[in-house]
Amino acid sequence: MIEVRDVSKRFEEIRAVDHVTITIKEDSVFGLIGTNGAGKSTVLRMMSGVMKPDEGQIHIDGIPVFDNIEAKERLFFIADEPYFFANATPDDMGRYYGSVFPKFDLLHYYSYLDSFGLGRRRKIATFSKGMKKQLAILCGICAKTKYLFCDETFDGLDPVMRQGIKSLMAKEMDERGMTPIIASHNLRELEDICDHVGLLHRGGVLLSKDLDEMKCNIQKVQCVLEEGVSGEEAFKNLDIVKSEKRGSLYTLTVRSSRDEIINYFSSIQTIFFEALPLSLEEIFISETEVVGYDIKKIILG
C-alpha cells in the first residue's frame, strides 16, 4: 500500500502540490488525472523518491520512500518523457536495468521487444515518440517491481498499441499482483482499466473514489411524464444532481442505485423511462459541478 499524507511541494512562489492525501491499495489500478499543471507529475516524482516533499510524508508498504533503497526497489517510474542513455539500444537498456533491478526478466524483455517490433540493436534515438514510450513501458514491466508509476503512459500511442499495453498490464497484474499508478490528463484513456481514480486540481485532490462505488451510486435517467404530471412533483423524492428538459423529455442525474431508480420510476406516472450507464467523464462532471468546478475544463482542457 502507498500512503501519501498531507504532502505539499513548492517551486519558488508556485505551490505545485497543496496538502495532498491519497491512499493507493495493492492489486488495483489507480488513475491520477488532471490537466497539465495540476500537480500529478510532481506527486508521482515525490512518490518515486525523485523529489522530497516540503511537507508531509510518503510511505510505500510502511517504508519512507525518499532516499531509501528498500522502498525504491519496489517501484519503477516511467516519466512523461522517458530517459535513455545517449546512443543506447534497447539491448543496452535491458542490461542496465538488469543490473539495477534484481528481478529484471531479460528473457521476457527480449520476447516483448520482438512482439512490439522494437529492434534490440537499433539506436533508441531513431525511435518515434510512441516507440520510446513502448520501450519504457516494457522496461518497467520487466523490472518486476511491485508498483509501476506511469506518467502520461498512453500519450503518443495509437489506439491498437494502447489496448496492447493495457492487456500486458492486466496480464502482469493477474500473474504477479503488479499495481500500476497511471497519471493522465485524459480521463477517457483510463476508464476501462482503473479501479480507483483521484482527480487533482490546482495542486489538491478534488475527488478520490472507487469506480464501482461511483458507478453504483449515481444514475442517468431519461423519461417522459404523462400529460398533466409536473416534474417538480414527480421527482420530489429524488436526490437530483443535475436536471435538463428538452420538450417533454427529462434527463436527470440522480444519486441512487439502479434498482432503486427502476423501482421509483415504475411507481410514478411516466409514458417512458430508461436508466442509462454513465461514462466516467459524466460521473466526474456531475460530482464536481455541485462543488462549483468546471470539470470539462479540468479534464479536457
Whether 126 and 248 share a structural domain: no
Do 294 and 255 reside in the same domain of the chain? yes
Q: Residue 150's pLDDT is what?
A: 92
Residue 214, pLDDT score: 75
19 and 142 in a single domain? The answer is yes
What pLDDT, on a 0 to 100 scale, did the predictor assign at position 241?
85
**pLDDT tens for the chain, residues 1 to 301:** 999 999 999 998 888 898 999 999 988 899 988 767 778 889 999 999 999 999 999 999 999 999 899 999 999 999 988 889 999 999 999 999 999 999 999 999 999 999 999 999 999 999 998 999 999 999 999 999 999 999 988 887 888 888 888 889 989 999 999 999 999 877 777 777 888 888 887 777 877 878 777 777 888 999 999 998 999 899 999 999 889 999 999 999 998 888 999 999 999 999 999 998 887 777 777 666 655 555 555 555 5
Instruction: Mark whether 186 and 269 lie in a shared domain.
Output: no
Query: In the prediction, which pLDDT does 38 show?
Result: 78
Same domain, 153 and 28: yes
- CATH number at 253 reads 3.30.70
Question: What stretch of H or E contains 176?
Answer: helix 159-176
At residue 291, the pLDDT reads: 55
| DSSP-derived secondary structure letter, 8 | E
| The last residue of a domain, from among 187, 210, 233 | 210
At 265, list the grid cell: 420510476
- Cα-based distances in Å from 68 to 24, 72, 145, 157, 160: 19, 6, 15, 33, 38
Q: Are residues 199 and 255 in the same domain?
A: no
| Domain identity same for 147 and 28 | yes
Distance CA 277, CA 258 (A): 9
Domain that holds residue 172: 2-210
> Do 40 and 143 fall within a single domain?
yes
Whether residues 196 and 224 share a domain: the answer is no
> In Å, how far from its chain's centre is CA 255?
23
Q: Do residue 200 and residue 221 come from a single domain? A: no
Assign residue 180 the CATH number of its domain: 3.40.50.300
Among residues 168, 187, 210, which one ends one of the domains? 210
User: Which residues lie closer than 8 Å to 268 by C-beta, 6 or more apart?
Assistant: 225, 229, 234
At which of 156, 175, 210 does a domain end? 210
Q: What DSSP string describes 246-292?
A: ETTEEEEEEES-HHHHHHHHHSS-EEEEEEEPPPHHHHHHHHHHTTT
Say what the pLDDT of residue 215 is.
76
Whether residue 198 is found in the same domain as residue 283: no
Block residue for cell numbers 498531507 = 6
Based on the structure, what is the number of domains in the chain? 2
Statement to judge: residues 161 and 240 lie in one domain: no
The predicted model scores a pTM of: 0.80
